[in-house]
Structure 1
Amino acid sequence: MTPLKIYRTTAIIEAVTWGLLILGMVLKYTGVTESGVSAAGPVHGLAFLAFVVVTILVWMNNRWSAGQGLLGLFSAVIPFATVPFEQAVARRGGLDGGWRTDVGADAPVRDRILAVLVGRPYASAGVLAVAVLVVFGTLLVVGPPFG
């Protein structure tokens, strides 16, 4: 899966889960039901964390500037902003190319780490998924961000 395809997919999933969470909040605060937030909240939290991980990987791989990378991370905080951000970055060529797996021994450590991660996509996806789930589980134990 190319950086463009995985970034686009996670941006869309993150935006859709924002919509589900907002719908759940509308249902909760209009007195209809609280189950929408109970269901959509964790799903959105997981999508948010996945988007953050993918943003960091693509940021490193495609050598985005610090400003562009931080803006990518910030786009997940604003409802539905991940999709327009992804589209803007794609238009400017920021998602072009494949994963950089061929780096020399003299490459910076971050490039060598990235090459290992993207060179073994299934193992890396498993490790990153476990890491996201551990963070997700910890956050579930801690509780919701605003009471």
Structure 2
Amino acid sequence: MSPRLTPVRLYRLVARAEAVTWALLLTGMFLKYVTETTELGVQVFGMVHGVVFIAYCLTTVLLWVDQKWSLGRLVLGLVAAVPPFATVPFERYAERSGLLGTDWRLREAPAGALERLAAWLLRRPAQGLLVGLLAVAGLTGVALVVGPPA
């Protein structure tokens, strides 16, 4: 039986995945711009990093709602996705500070529309995962239409 996906485990997973994809993207950029051997690494790892970046941001928003983070902590968590590897120290800070519970608060008592939506996602893990994947795919599609950051 697999361990339950608690807020701590989920955030650790996405924060570290975001850092790993940063490393892959930076490797691709090194190959493209320094060695001038290939741009395939930027094309592939850039897309992978973009998808994981969006997943990290959505997870941060979910935790902001579920764990009742302040708006400042939400902004700090989202900003941590921008510099390379900053999601890992933020995730560690969040865990040490008690911002990541060992259980999902909203499985019990949601209040307000945003909390009810988060509670629905958390109470139905399969549907919640599907909605999360669709949200990541949709936002990735929007990012592809808008284009890369300038």
Q: TM (normalized to structure 1)?
A: 0.93
Hey, which bits of structure 1, 4+ residues long, moved more than 6 A?
none
Corresponding residue number in structure 2 for 1:103: 109
Instruction: Determine what percentage of the aligned residue pairs are the same residue.
Output: 46
Q: Which consecutive residues of structure 1, in runs of 5 or more, have no partner in the other structure?
A: none
Alignment of 1:52-67 (within 5 A): 52-67=57-72
CA distance in 1, matches of 2:51, 2:139: 9
Partner of 1:46: 51
**Equivalent position amino acid for 2:71 in 1:** A
2:138 pairs with one of 134, 139, 144: 134
Instruction: Work out the CA distance in 1 between the residues paired with 2:80 and 2:42.
Output: 21
Q: Give the one of 86, 91, 96 matched to 1:86.
A: 91
Please, which of 116, 121, 136 is the counterpart of residue 120 of structure 2? 116
| CA positional deviation for 1:92 | 0.9
Name stretches of at least 5 consecutive residues in structure 2 with no aligned partner.
Answer: none
Alignment root-mean-square deviation, CA: 1.2
The alignment's TM-score, normalised by the length of structure 2, stands at: 0.91
Cα displacement (A) at 1:2: 0.4
